[in-house]
Amino acid sequence: MDELVIQKLGPLSDEEMVLNMGPQHPSTHGVIRFVVKGDGEVIKVALPVVGYLHRAIEKIGEIVTFPGFMPYTDRADYLAAMFANEGYALAVEKLMGLEAPPRAQYCRAISCELNRIASHLISVGTMGQDIGALTPFVHALRERETLNDLIEELCGARLTYHYHRIGGVAFDVPDGWAEKTLRFLDRFERILDEYDRLLTWNEIYVKRLADLGVIPAEMAIDYGLVGPNLRASGVDWDLRRDLPYGCYRDFQFQVPVGKGWVGKVGDCFDRYYVRILEMRESVKIVRQALEKLPAGETMHPKIPKKVKPPAGEAWARVESARGEMGYYVTADGVSEKAQRVRIRTGSYLAMGVVEPLSRGMMIADLVALIASLDVVAPEIDR
C-alpha cells in the first residue's frame, strides 16, 4: 500500500473522511488520540495527538525532595517502573558522586530484567490482541501475574514498585526467592516456545505484520527511536552492552537485532519478534545475576537523611523496556529539591514515526503499527 493506491482512486478520493481514533479507543494503549484522515479504510495520514495523560511529573520533581520524587517516577512508566526508578536513582547518585554497593546493583539488575520480561509480555500480548488473537494476551498476563508475585515478594508492590532508592535498593532478596525465580524461569522458557507455536509463526499473524510499517535503519536513527524499536530496524545498539551501567559488565548476553525474519528489516513483525528474543536474553541475565549475587550491603552507608547533592547537573540513562530512558537532574547544592528534572522517554519518540509511516496504511494496519511500537500513554506525556 502506498500513495499509488490513493492516486488510483482518482476523483473518488477527493472527499476525505476524518476519523477520530481515541482518546477512548480499545487499541490506542492508553489515552492517546489519532486524527485519521483517510478515504474509507485507506489512511492518507494519521496524526498523533498526545498530552491527554500529562501529569506534570517533571514539575513535581522540582517541588518534592530528591528521595520524595522516587514514587513519582513509577508513574512515568507504570509497565516498567523499575527502569524509571533506576534512571532517577542513577542520576541523583551521579550528582552525589557515589555508587550503589555491588549487591544493590545486582538486585537492580535482577528486578529490572524481571520487569523487562513483564513489560514485554504486555507488549507481545497486546500485539496479539490488536491483531485479533485474544488468547495469547491472557496467557501473557498469566505469566506476568507470576512475575508480579515474585516482584511483590521482593518489594511489596505489584505495579508501582518504588524499589530502587538513591544509593541502593529498598529491600534485600528474601530467603528462598532465588529458587522460586529460577523455577519460574525454567517454566517461562517453555512458555516462550509455546508463544512461538501459538502466535509468532501463525500464518495469519505473519501475513498481517510482514512488510508492514517498515522503518529503515537511517529513518530509525533520524527519528531518534530507541530500544527494541531501534534494534528491530537493524541498528545494533543496547546501552546495557555498549555503555554499561550498574553491573551489566558482568553478564554474558546477546543483543537481538531485527533480521527481517518474514519480510523487510524493521517491519512490525521484527519489532514484535525482537521483544520475544529479548525476553529470552533477560532470562539469561537473571540466571547469571542470581548465580553471581555478591554478599554485602544493599544500601550505600553514606546516604544522609536529607539528600542535598552538591551543585551541578547529571544525565543518566538506562535501557528501559521501551528503550533508552534518560534523566536529567540539576541541583543547586543548597536546596533539598531538584532545580530541574527532565525525563526523556522512548514512547514519545516512537509517536513521531507514526505520521510518516501511516500514509497509505489501512485502519487495521495502524492498530498493528501502534501496537508494534509498544507505546505507553503515561510515558509519552509524563
Partner 1 sequence: MQTAADQLIRSLFHQDPGSWPWTQLVYLAFMLAAGMIMTTFAAVFSGTLSWYERRVAARMQSRIGPNRVGPAGFLVWVADALKLITKEDVIPADADPILFRMGPYFVVTGLVLTFVALPFGDRIIAADMNLGLFYILSITALVVVGIIMSAWSSNSKWSLIGGIRSAAQVISYEIPAGLAVMVPVLLAGSLSTQGIIRAQGGPAGGSFFEIGGWPWNWFLFENPMAFAAFFIFFTAALAEGNRTPFDLPEAESELVAGYNTEYSGMRFSYFFLTEWANVWVMSALGTLLFLGGWQIPGVASEAVDHSGWLVVASVLVFVVKTLALVNVVVWLRWTLPRIRVDQMMILCWKYLVPVAMGCVLLTAGWIWGESVVPVSVISGFHLAFFLVAGIVPLVLFVRQTFQNLRLVGDRVDLTNW
What is the closest distance, in whole angstroms, from the C-beta atom of residue 50 to partner 1 in the complex?
Answer: 20
| Contact flag: residue 12 with partner 1 (CB under 8 A) | no
| Contact flag: residue 129 with partner 1 (CB under 8 A) | yes
Q: For residues 116 and 242, what is the distance between their CA atoms, to the nearest angstrom?
A: 18
| Contact flag: residue 278 with partner 1 (CB under 8 A) | no
What is the closest distance, in whole angstroms, from the C-beta atom of residue 213 to partner 1 in the complex?
Answer: 13
Which CB, 135 or 254, lies closer to partner 1? 135
**Candidate segments 60-68, 85-93, 122-130, 313-321, binder of partner 1 by CB under 8 A:** 122-130
**Candidate segments 125-133, 173-181, 225-233, 290-298, binder of partner 1 by CB under 8 A:** 125-133
| Contact flag: residue 281 with partner 1 (CB under 8 A) | no
**Candidate segments 50-58, 193-201, 288-296, 328-336, binder of partner 1 by CB under 8 A:** 193-201
| Contact flag: residue 207 with partner 1 (CB under 8 A) | yes
**Candidate segments 90-98, 133-141, 218-226, 314-322, binder of partner 1 by CB under 8 A:** 133-141
| Contact flag: residue 35 with partner 1 (CB under 8 A) | no
DSSP state of 35: E
**Size, binding site for partner 1 by CB under 8 A:** 36
DSSP state of 342: E
Letters for 345-364 (x = contact with partner 1 by CB under 8 A, - = none) are: -----------------xxx
Residues with Cβ within 8 Å of 78's Cβ and at least 6 positions away in sequence, in order, are 159, 160, 376, 378
Q: For residues 235 and 377, what is the distance between their CA atoms, to the nearest angstrom?
A: 25
Cell (9 digits) for 34: 489519532
End-to-end CA distance of the chain: 34
Would you tell me how many other CB atoms lie within 10 Å of the CB of residue 185?
Answer: 18
| Contact flag: residue 132 with partner 1 (CB under 8 A) | yes
Would you tell me how many other CB atoms lie within 10 Å of the CB of residue 9?
Answer: 12
What is the closest distance, in whole angstroms, from the C-beta atom of residue 19 to partner 1 in the complex?
Answer: 5
* Residues constituting the chain: 382
Q: How far is CA 47 from the centre of its chain?
A: 22
Cell (9 digits) for 125: 500480548
Task: Name the residue with cell 555498549.
Answer: 242
Maximum Cα–Cα distance for the chain, whole Å?
74
| Contact flag: residue 10 with partner 1 (CB under 8 A) | no
| Contact flag: residue 187 with partner 1 (CB under 8 A) | yes
Write out the DSSP string of 240-289: HHHS--TTGGG----------SSSSTTSHHHHHHHHHHHHHHHHHHHHHH
| Contact flag: residue 157 with partner 1 (CB under 8 A) | no
| Contact flag: residue 210 with partner 1 (CB under 8 A) | no
Residues that bind partner 1 (CB under 8 A): 17, 19, 25-27, 40-41, 128-135, 138-139, 142, 187, 190-191, 193-194, 197-199, 202, 204-205, 207-208, 362-365, 367
